[in-house]
Amino acid sequence: MRCVNLDMALHCGRLGLMNAATQTTGQATRERLLQAAARIVARDGMEAATTAAIAAEAGVAEGTLYRHFDSKDDLLIASYRQMKQEVFIGAGQGLDTSMAPPERLKLTWKAIYLAYRANKDAFAFGHRFAESALAEREGGEAGRAVARMVGDLRKAGIASGDFKNLPPDLLGGLFMAPISYLLKAEMKGRKWTEVELDAAADSVLAGWRR
Partner DNA sequence: GTCTATATTTGGATAGAC
Partner DNA sequence: GTCTATCCAAATATAGAC
Q: Which residues bind its own copies (CB under 8 A)?
A: 44-48, 127-128, 130-134, 164, 166-167, 169-170, 173-174, 176-178, 180-182, 185, 190, 192, 196, 199-200, 203-204, 206-209
Q: On the CB side of 39, how many CA atoms lie within 13 Å of its CA?
A: 13
Q: Return the residues of window 4-63 that contact DNA according to CB under 7 A.
A: 9, 14-16, 18, 23-26, 28-29, 49-53, 59-63
Report, in Å, the least distance between residue 92 CB and its own copies: 22
- Select the binding partner of residue 196 from DNA, its own copies, none (C-beta < 5 to 8 A, by kind): its own copies
Report, in Å, the least distance between residue 74 CB and its own copies: 16
- Select the binding partner of residue 133 from its own copies, DNA, none (C-beta < 5 to 8 A, by kind): its own copies
Q: Is there a contact between 104 and 153 (Cβ–Cβ < 8 Å)?
A: yes
- Select the binding partner of residue 18 from DNA, its own copies, none (C-beta < 5 to 8 A, by kind): DNA
Report, in Å, the least distance between residue 169 CB and DNA: 33
For residues 52-67, b (16+ Cβ closer than 10 Å) or e, as one string? ebbbbbbbbeeeebee
Q: Return the residues of window 61-80 that contact DNA according to CB under 7 A.
A: 61-64, 66-68, 71-73
> Sign of dihedral through CA atoms 28, 30, 33, 4?
positive
Using CB atoms within 10 Å of the CB of residue 107, give its burial: 0 to 12 exposed, 13 to 18 middle, 19+ buried. middle
Q: Is there a contact between 75 and 33 (Cβ–Cβ < 8 Å)?
A: yes
Q: What angle is formed at CA 147 by the lines to CA 80 and CA 165, rounded to 5 degrees?
A: 155
Query: Could you give the CA distance from residue 174 to residue 25 in angstroms, rounded to a whole number?
Result: 44
Contact residues: DNA, CB under 7 A: 9, 14-16, 18, 23-26, 28-29, 49-53, 59-64, 66-68, 71-73
